[in-house]
Amino acid sequence: MTQLSTDIIIIGGGVAGLWIHHRLNDLGYHAVLIEKHSIGNGQTLSSQGIIHGGTKYTLNGILTGAASAIADMPQRWLDCLAGSGEIDLSQTKLLTQHQLMWSTQSVSSKLTSFLSSKALNGKMQSLSKKSYPDIFNTAAFKGNLYQLNEPVLDIPSLLKNLTEKWQHRIICTNEDYQFIETTNCLINGVISDTFEIQAKKVILSSGEGNEESLQKLNIDSPKMQRRPLQMVLMKSIKLPRLYAHCIGASTKPIATITSHTHSDGDNVWYIGGNIAEEGIDQTSESLIKHTRFTLQKILPWLDTSDAEWTTHCVNRAEPAQKNLLRPDTAFLADAKNIAIAWPTKLALTPNLADQLIHTLKEQSIMPSSNDGSRRDSELEKINQQHPVVFSPSLWDRAFDAKS
Q: Smallest distance, Å, CB 37 to ligand FAD? A: 4
Counting every residue written for the chain, the total comes to 403
**By the rule CB under 6 A, 222 interacts with ligand FAD:** no
Query: Looking only at Cα atoms, what is the longest distance across the chain?
Result: 73
The amino acid sitting at 198 is Q
Closer by beta carbon to ligand FAD, 73 or else 141: 73
349-362 and 15-26 are packed helices; what angle lies between their axes, rounded to 10 degrees? 50
Closer by beta carbon to ligand FAD, 41 or else 259: 41
**By the rule CB under 6 A, 205 interacts with ligand FAD:** yes
Closer by beta carbon to ligand FAD, 141 or else 314: 314
CA atoms within 13 A on the CB side of 254: 20
What is each CA distance from 22 to 82, 165, 229, 274, in whole angstroms? 17, 8, 29, 34
β-strand 187-191 against 195-198: which pairing, if any?
antiparallel
| Binding-site member from 6, 48, 92, 144 for ligand FAD (CB under 6 A) | 48
| Binding-site member from 16, 67, 159, 214 for ligand FAD (CB under 6 A) | 16
| Binding-site member from 6, 25, 47, 144 for ligand FAD (CB under 6 A) | 47
Residue-wise over 5-36: b if at least 16 C-beta within 10 A, else e? Answer: bbbbbbbbbbbbbbbbbbbbbeeebbbbbbbb
| Binding-site member from 8, 32, 34, 298 for ligand FAD (CB under 6 A) | 34
| Binding-site member from 9, 13, 20, 150 for ligand FAD (CB under 6 A) | 13
**By the rule CB under 6 A, 346 interacts with ligand FAD:** yes
**By the rule CB under 6 A, 66 interacts with ligand FAD:** no
| Binding-site member from 4, 9, 10, 11 for ligand FAD (CB under 6 A) | 11
**By the rule CB under 6 A, 154 interacts with ligand FAD:** no
**By the rule CB under 6 A, 49 interacts with ligand FAD:** yes
Which strand (E) or helix (H) includes residue 216?
helix 209-216
Closer by beta carbon to ligand FAD, 101 or else 141: 101
Interface positions, 310-329, toward ligand FAD (CB under 6 A)? 314, 316
Q: Smallest distance, Å, CB 190 to ligand FAD? A: 9
How would DSSP label each residue in 322-361? GGGPPPSS-EEEEETTEEEEE-SSGGGHHHHHHHHHHHHH
Interface positions, 264-293, toward ligand FAD (CB under 6 A)? 272
**By the rule CB under 6 A, 332 interacts with ligand FAD:** no
Q: Mark the segment that binds ligand FAD (CB under 6 A) among 194-202, 319-327, 337-345, 369-377.
A: 337-345
Q: Mark the segment that binds ligand FAD (CB under 6 A) among 60-68, 74-82, 98-106, 204-212.
A: 204-212
Q: Smallest distance, Å, CB 202 to ligand FAD? A: 11
Q: Is 70 exposed, middle or buried (0-12, 13-18, 19+ CB in 10 A)?
A: buried
| Binding-site member from 344, 351, 383, 393 for ligand FAD (CB under 6 A) | 344
Q: Do residues 290 and 282 lie in contact, with contact meaning Cβ atoms separated by under 8 Å? A: yes
Residues 95, 18: Cα–Cα separation, whole Å:
21
Which strand (E) or helix (H) includes residue 163?
helix 155-164
Q: Do residues 311 and 271 lie in contact, with contact meaning Cβ atoms separated by under 8 Å? A: no
The amino acid sitting at 386 is H
Binding residues (CB under 6 A) for ligand FAD: these are 11-17, 34-37, 41-44, 46-50, 52, 205-209, 213, 229, 231, 272, 314, 316, 342-347
